[in-house]
Amino acid sequence: MAGYPIALWSFNLGRAPDSVEAFAAQIEEGMLRASEAGAKLLMLPEYLNECCLAFKPDGLRPDQEMDFLADVATDLVPKLSPLPEKYGVSLLAGSMPVKTAAGITNTAFLLTSDGREIRQDKLCLTPFEQGSDAWRLIPGTELKLFELDGLKMAILICLDVEMPALSSLLAKTDLDLLLVPSMTEMLSGYHRVFCCAKARAVELMCAVAVCGVVGASKGTTQNESNVSGAALYLPCEEEFGFTGVAAEIAPTDGKNLEEPFLVANVPLKQLRDLKSGKAEVWPGAWSADHVRVLAG
């Protein structure tokens, strides 16, 4: 397959593993599937390990769930770390709660096929994430750029992709691929995230990959529904078929255990050609420094 093939897995939280080991085995199934499809990167969604509430201790209170899931993440990541080298596929293992000295963050884990671990905290938290008595998360303060397989990439978690201020920060970075793991309760949230992801592809002249969890975790007390799909968006250019949609699976609530799994191709050379001056109207890393806002 020409370009850079990636796999997007909208994991169904209803899988209900009974242990960290069982959960790691489920993820390995996806790694095998991605490898057999020729993908170089497998991306999973935000709050991936919420499915592990299926084996939470009896009597665990809602305000203890984040600590429990953070402990699950601590146990899980070492079990996933060998998989990228084994299958030749890098793994964005979604995002999971992480304990820090300052509090708990919502953090994405990218385990690369060349042995690196790259973490990206969610930067803009939802009111529930930061204000709820149950979750009490804190936002990150750094947006990391990294190279993988010759592509310059970044990760924006769910609501982060809806923030034009972050897109402005990325505008001067010559990004090739933006990765967006998400969790959305309803179709409204799905459309906010996915439509903004498509807008980022236009603004940044890059590919944007997005997928979210579906279904509901056995034992959840917070997220009784999750609706999402999977998509790879490109700039709206003639070379890519005008619409900006390279590949897309429609949203589902996952209640029948459906689980979108999309393999798509990032046309890297064409993207870079367009950035070099061949795009229809793209002005590059344009700023509004010369513009004044007039009131009244």
Give domain status of residue 71, yes or no: yes
- Strands of 125-173 (E only): list them: 145-148, 151-155
Structural domain total, the chain: 1
Q: pLDDT tens-digit profile of 1-43?
A: 469 999 999 999 999 999 999 999 999 999 999 999 999 999 9
Give domain status of residue 92, yes or no: yes
Indicate the burial class of 61 (C-beta count within 10 angstroms; 0-12, 13-18, 19 or more): exposed
Q: Give dist(CA 67, CA 108) in Å, integer.
A: 16
| Structure tokens belonging to residue 289 | 């420094």
CATH number at residue 224: 3.60.110.10
Q: Give dist(CA 47, CA 32) in Å, integer.
A: 22
Give domain status of residue 287, yes or no: no
Q: Give dist(CA 147, CA 141) in Å, integer.
A: 20
| Structure tokens belonging to residue 40 | 């170089």
| Structure tokens belonging to residue 78 | 């070492």
Q: Which domain holds residue 147?
A: 4-271
The residues, any chain, with a CB within 8 Å of residue 216's CB and separated by 6 or more, are 13, 14, 223, 224, 225, 226, 254
Predicted confidence band of residue 183 (pLDDT cuts 50, 70, 90): very high
Give domain status of residue 280, yes or no: no
CA distances (Å), origin 147, targets 78, 82, 83, 91, 108? 22, 20, 19, 14, 16
Q: Give dist(CA 115, CA 112) in Å, integer.
A: 5
Give domain status of residue 290, yes or no: no
- Check pLDDT > 50 for residue 55: yes
| Structure tokens belonging to residue 63 | 């305000």
Give domain status of residue 289, yes or no: no
Predicted confidence band of residue 132 (pLDDT cuts 50, 70, 90): low
Q: pLDDT tens-digit profile of 146-166?
A: 999 999 999 999 999 999 999
Give domain status of residue 47, yes or no: yes
- Check pLDDT > 70 for residue 176: yes
Average pLDDT, the chain: 96
Predicted confidence band of residue 271 (pLDDT cuts 50, 70, 90): very high
The residues, any chain, with a CB within 8 Å of residue 291's CB and separated by 6 or more, are none
- Check pLDDT > 80 for residue 133: no
Q: Rounded mean pLDDT of 209-215?
A: 98
Smallest CA-to-CA distance from 177 within 64, 264, 85 is with 264
The neighbour count for residue 150, using CB atoms within 10 Å, is 8
Give domain status of residue 211, yes or no: yes
